[in-house]
């Protein structure tokens, strides 16, 4: 796939997320790994619904701007995750409604904020570790995500939002959408007698993906 097509895909997928209410205003950022140890990142303060391919930021592995507009201040944690996890080729960071609401709850399990109750959550994401609260743009977010980058495909930033990885951009977006839907279902089921998947059922799903 050409680099121009990768830019077009990012713009189109970002607009789709925005138009369906997964992001608002200038919130959220998306990135993907390019060839030559370079990375494509959405610009700072940009709306996911109004991106232009020619404005997208291209960075080297040290975060230096090679072309495009100034990158999101959160590009630092994107780069940290790419450097730590070679299987991660795209990252979606959103302040989507249900996952952000979940991130604001107290006493979440740091190792997994959502216990499995659908097979799709297991197959797409598996688990959702929680990163402690740091102000947006804090280098501590990059440090935490780098240290835990191999712990899963998605991470909930306390009082902030979600960070989701994928094998490519389409995979990262699909993982994010499934995770947001799972969080929505979690709130809809609150107070109900939920049947969670057993350990054997979860392991069966994981083994089928190998």
Looking at every residue in the chain, the average pLDDT score rounds to: 96
Nearest to 131 by CA among 120, 142, 121: 142
Q: What is the pLDDT of residue 210?
A: 45
- pLDDT, tens digit (0-9, with 9 covering 90-100), for 104-133: 999 999 999 999 999 999 999 999 999 999
Q: What is the pLDDT of residue 86?
A: 96
Instruction: Give the global pTM.
Output: 0.96
- Beta strand 65-67 with 90-94 is unpaired
Q: What is the pLDDT of residue 119?
A: 97
Domain boundaries along the sequence of the chain: 3-208
Cβ atoms of 181 and 118 closer than 8 Å = no
- pLDDT, tens digit (0-9, with 9 covering 90-100), for 133-152: 999 989 999 999 999 999 99
Task: Please give the positions annotated as active site.
Answer: 74, 120
In this prediction, the residues of the chain whose per-residue pLDDT falls under 70 are 209-210
Q: What is the pLDDT of residue 111?
A: 96
Q: What CATH number belongs to 3-208?
A: 3.40.225.10
């Amino acid at each position: 796939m050409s680099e121009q097509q990768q830019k077009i895909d990012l713009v189109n997928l970002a607009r789709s997320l925005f138009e369906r209410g997964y992001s608002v205003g200038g919130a959220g950022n998306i990135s993907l790994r390019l060839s030559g140890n370079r990375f494509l990142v959405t610009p700072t303060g940009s709306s996911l619904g109004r991106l232009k391919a020619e404005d997208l930021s291209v960075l080297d592995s040290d975060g230096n701007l090679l072309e495009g507009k100034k990158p999101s201040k959160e590009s630092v944690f994107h780069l940290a995750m790419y450097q730590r996890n070679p299987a991660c080729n795209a990252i979606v960071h959103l302040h989507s409604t249900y996952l952000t609401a979940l991130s604001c709850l107290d006493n979440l399990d740091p190792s997994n904020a959502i216990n499995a109750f659908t097979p799709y959550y297991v197959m797409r994401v598996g688990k959702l570790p929680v990163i402690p609260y740091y102000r947006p743009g804090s280098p501590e977010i990059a440090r935490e995500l780098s240290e835990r980058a191999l712990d899963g495909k998605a991470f909930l930033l306390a009082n902030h939002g979600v960070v989701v990885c994928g094998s490519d951009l389409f995979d990262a977006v699909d993982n994010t959408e499934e995770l947001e839907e799972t969080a929505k279902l979690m709130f809809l089921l609150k107070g109900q007698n939920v049947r969670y998947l057993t350990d054997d059922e979860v392991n069966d799903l994981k083994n089928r993906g190998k």
